[in-house]
Amino acid sequence: AGANALRVVLSGGDRWTKNDATDVANIISLCKANKLICMLEDHDTTGYGEQSGAVTLDTAANYWVSLASVLKGQEDYVQINIGNEPYGNTASVNAGWASDTSAAIKKIRAAGLHHNIVVDAPSWGQDWAGIMRDNAATVAAADPDANTLFSVHMYGVYNNASTITTYLDAFKSKNLPLVIGEFGNMHSDGDPDEDTIMSEAVKRGIGYYGWSWSGNGGGVEYLDMVTSFNPSQLTTWGTRIF
């Protein structure tokens, strides 16, 4: 389809079937064979503090450490996205985003993993309260490798051009790297401005990842780019992004 990178959902076994080292090694091999940079993410953290069963970033860091044997040597091909949307909208919990993220980065580095590390924003990845934006410099400074990439997920909060450009400008002004780690063309919390998201990313030379290839449930099936994992059955969203 012409993509150059792929974000892959994994589980450490806390909420879903565990993707063990053998499985992850195979995923990396498939990505390399298809000339795709592989952003691996632990989905178990999704909505911590608000969603039942979600785990901490520290637990996610332990998962990455457990995969060290298959991750080492793949630094040119793999990004480690510590945890997907690691906090919901609970303000008291989100207040720990910077310290928790910094500690997770340090644990991963201490295990000898020197990959690009990707960290998601709180508030279901959308950072509508600006917690990641305001604390990104502190987290960046916590990485001894100085190789942390910040990821915002743009859904209903980003429903107009000015909101999108203001957020992107904030990271540019801080000289900190940002990726749009997820977005869609519609969502239950509002209508994302996907045209501006894509055009601004291209104009600025930053990356974007649409969500997602296939398999969405729970009423957000419209986020599937293809129907039933069939690459020959592009949806409206799939046609738009590819």
CA gyration radius, the chain = 17
pLDDT for residue 1 = 84
Decide if pLDDT at 209 tops 90: yes
**Averaged confidence pLDDT in the chain:** 96
Annotated catalytic residue within 85, 194, 200, 221? 85
What φ, ψ does residue 117 adopt, rounded to 5°?
-100, 130
Query: And the tokens for 226?
Result: 């293809």
Annotated catalytic residue within 41, 182, 194, 200? 182
Q: What angle do CA 152, 155, 159 make, to 5 degrees?
A: 110
pLDDT band at residue 189 using 50, 70 and 90 as cut-offs: confident
* Size of the chain, expressed as the number of residues it contains: 242
pLDDT digits (tens, 9 = 90+) for 72-114: 999 999 999 999 999 999 999 999 999 999 999 999 999 999 9
Q: How far is CA 189 from the centre of its chain?
A: 19
pLDDT for residue 186 = 87
CA atoms within 13 A on the CB side of 35: 4
Domain 5-211 belongs to what topology? TIM Barrel (3.20.20)
Cα distance between residue 38 and residue 76, in whole Å: 10
**Which residue ranges make up each domain of the chain?**
5-211
Q: Is 41 a catalytic residue?
A: no
Residue 217 neighbours by CB distance under 10 Å:
8
pLDDT for residue 18 = 98
pLDDT band at residue 2 using 50, 70 and 90 as cut-offs: confident
Cα distance between residue 128 and residue 101, in whole Å: 18
pLDDT for residue 138 = 98
pTM (predicted TM-score): 0.97
Q: Is 85 a catalytic residue?
A: yes
% of the chain exceeding 90 in pLDDT: 96
